[in-house]
Amino acid sequence: MNEELAELAASGATALVSAMGTDLWQEAKGLMIRVLARARGSRHNELTVALDRASTATRGAVDARTVDYWTEALSRLLDRDPDLAQDVMALASLRIPERPGNVVQLISATDSAEAFAVQYGSQHFASGPKSRERGERL
């Protein structure tokens, strides 16, 4: 694989993983699905499952292992089919919103109060009888 395609694979993977915790996730996921749809190979199903799993597993964190996984996957796809470069370039071109460098967040809860907070992105939680029972046992 030439150096340009290797760098493109790394940039595409970084953009994909960085988007996981932002409002750009659906757009990034759609671009990656387009790459996978055009790709030929036996890893199509594996990568599609990994993409779906990633959408819920790593929200808000850029994990180096996840970037490495997607860099390797994109490298292999580009190595087999360099014509995918334009689609990977669209993924790599996503502009992830910059986060401020210093942020302070103070949260206080006393007695039986609950506090929910999110710094960036969305917060998802479930509340109901089972979650309350579990909390009482702790």
* 43-55 mean pLDDT: 79
Q: Is the pLDDT of residue 134 over 60?
A: no
Would the pTM of this model clear 0.85, i.e. be above it? no
Select the more confidently predicted residue: 128 or 83: 83
Q: For all residues of the chain together, what is the average pLDDT?
A: 78
Q: What is the pLDDT of residue 25?
A: 85
Q: What is the pLDDT of residue 91?
A: 93
Q: What is the pLDDT of residue 97?
A: 61
Q: What is the pLDDT of residue 43?
A: 80
* 56-84 mean pLDDT: 82
Token pair of 23 as six digits: 């409002």
Confidence of residue 30 (pLDDT cuts 50, 70, 90): very high
* 32-40 mean pLDDT: 87
Convert 19-64 into a string of H (helix), E (strand) and C (coil).
Answer: HCCCCCHHHHHHHHHHHHHHCCCCCHHHHHHHHHHHHHHCCCCCCH
Confidence of residue 99 (pLDDT cuts 50, 70, 90): low
- What CA–CA distance (Å, rounded) separates 12 from 90? 8
Confidence of residue 103 (pLDDT cuts 50, 70, 90): low
Q: Judge whether 90 and 28 are in contact, CB under 8 Å.
A: no
Q: Is the pLDDT of residue 85 over 90?
A: yes
